[in-house]
Amino acid sequence: MSQSENIFIQFNDQMVAAKHGQTILQAARQNGIQIPTLCDFPGLPPHGSCRLCVVEIEGKPNTPTACTTPVEDGMVISTHSPKVVALRRELLQRGYALQLLDVKPIDPCYANERSVVVDITDQASLTAALRGCDAVVHLAACTTDAPWPEHVKLSIEGSISLFDAAREAGVMRVVYASSHHVVGLHPRAPNGPRLGATVQVRPDSRYAVGKAFGESIGAMYAGKYGMQVLAIRIGNVNTRPIDRRRMGNWLSWRDLGLPVAH
Ligand code: FES
């Protein structure tokens, strides 16, 4: 049978077409059927490690992972049977529980997530929300060249509030989402030398000045209070480099996720 030939499989009570050689997860996505995933990144070979994408297949005794199992003609697949839902819950319980902090409720949340509405500049509420956490991933900022007052509020006051709240709540690990814009005014030369982590800060925008401040305050809390702070100068995050220019600052989803998770 050729790779492009259609076969027919059943997801829950829905009969769909799939291509020979596809995985169950690929066929599900192609047909708009949701299967939760964690370690799967589109464009990269399947990892098969989180097991969150387990499914049941009629006539098979085990629960294989959808991201690594190829479809077969006539397969009958349950994506949300009581057995696989219970299995996913158990897997999530063994993993991280996430508190998602934002000024608006986050909906929907996965089973291991909880939405907490809090303003980053409200230090008392932030401290309360962080108590009991092992680590914070600090992503809040203005993402555009907004006027100075917005950057001062979110990037400067917000970072002060976040680091103070983390210290007060006893959370000694902070991952800070910085940006390549912090060194964006260094001249770019085709085939020129790479910019390392120790190169002088040369912010290219108001946004970048805010990010440079976050790196600075993180360095102070690490040096003065013994916090473990990781500032990542995030470039263009994507499955693969979009073009030649963004090849130089490309960061894959997997490479971004690894230091955050460990
Ligand atoms: S998505 Fe992690 S094992 Fe399939």
SS3 216: helix
- How many CB atoms are located within 10 Å of the residue 132 CB? 11
Whole-angstrom distance, CA of residue 83 vs CA of residue 8: 24
Number of domains into which the chain is organized:
2
User: Would residue 124 count as lying in a domain?
Assistant: yes
Tell me how far the alpha carbon of residue 51 lies from the centroid of ligand 1, in angstroms.
Answer: 5
Tell me how far the alpha carbon of residue 183 lies from the centroid of ligand 1, in angstroms.
Answer: 36
- pLDDT (0 to 100) of residue 2: 55
**Boundary of a domain, candidates 30, 60, 92:** 92
User: Would residue 1 count as lying in a domain?
Assistant: no
Are residues 30 and 66 in contact, defined by beta-carbon separation less than 8 angstroms? no
Determine the residue of 35, 40, 92 to mutate for testing ligand 1's pocket, defined as the one with the most ligand atoms within 8 A of the Cβ atom.
40
Are residues 61 and 258 in contact, defined by beta-carbon separation less than 8 angstroms? no
- Whether residues 156 and 27 fall in one domain: no
Tell me which residue of 247, 232, 253 sits closest to 181, measured CA to CA: 232
- pLDDT (0 to 100) of residue 251: 82
pTM: 0.65
Tell me how far the alpha carbon of residue 1 lies from the centroid of ligand 1, in angstroms.
Answer: 27
The pLDDT tens digits for 161-176 are 999 999 999 999 999 9
Nearest CA to ligand 1 atom 1: 37
Atom of ligand 1 at shortest range from CA of 36: 1
- Helices 158-168 and 206-225 sit at what angle, rounded to 10 degrees? 20
Determine the residue of 38, 63, 84 to mutate for testing ligand 1's pocket, defined as the one with the most ligand atoms within 8 A of the Cβ atom.
38
**Boundary of a domain, candidates 92, 122, 138:** 92
Are residues 65 and 78 in contact, defined by beta-carbon separation less than 8 angstroms? no
Active site residues: 207
Whole-angstrom distance, CA of residue 183 vs CA of residue 48: 37
Residues having CB within 6 Å of any atom of ligand 1: 37-40, 48-53, 65, 67
Counting beta carbons within 10 angstroms of the beta carbon of residue 93, is it exposed (0 to 12), middle (13 to 18) or buried (19 or more)? exposed
Tell me how far the alpha carbon of residue 27 lies from the centroid of ligand 1, in angstroms.
Answer: 15
CATH number where 178 lies? 3.40.50.720
What domain range is 222 assigned to?
A: 96-261
List average pLDDT for each run of 10 residues in the chain, which is 262 residues long: 76 93 93 86 71 88 88 94 78 73 81 84 95 90 85 95 97 93 87 83 95 97 96 85 83 72 58
Gyration radius of the chain over CA positions: 22
Largest Cα–Cα distance of the chain, in whole Å? 65
Atom of ligand 1 at shortest range from CA of 51: 3
Tokens of 38: 């964690």
- pLDDT (0 to 100) of residue 49: 66
CATH number where 37 lies? 3.10.20.740
User: Would residue 146 count as lying in a domain?
Assistant: yes
Determine the residue of 23, 29, 35, 49 to mutate for testing ligand 1's pocket, defined as the one with the most ligand atoms within 8 A of the Cβ atom.
49
**Boundary of a domain, candidates 66, 92, 118:** 92
Tell me how far the alpha carbon of residue 52 lies from the centroid of ligand 1, in angstroms.
Answer: 5
Whole-angstrom distance, CA of residue 27 vs CA of residue 21: 10
Residue 215 φ then ψ, to 5°? -65, -40
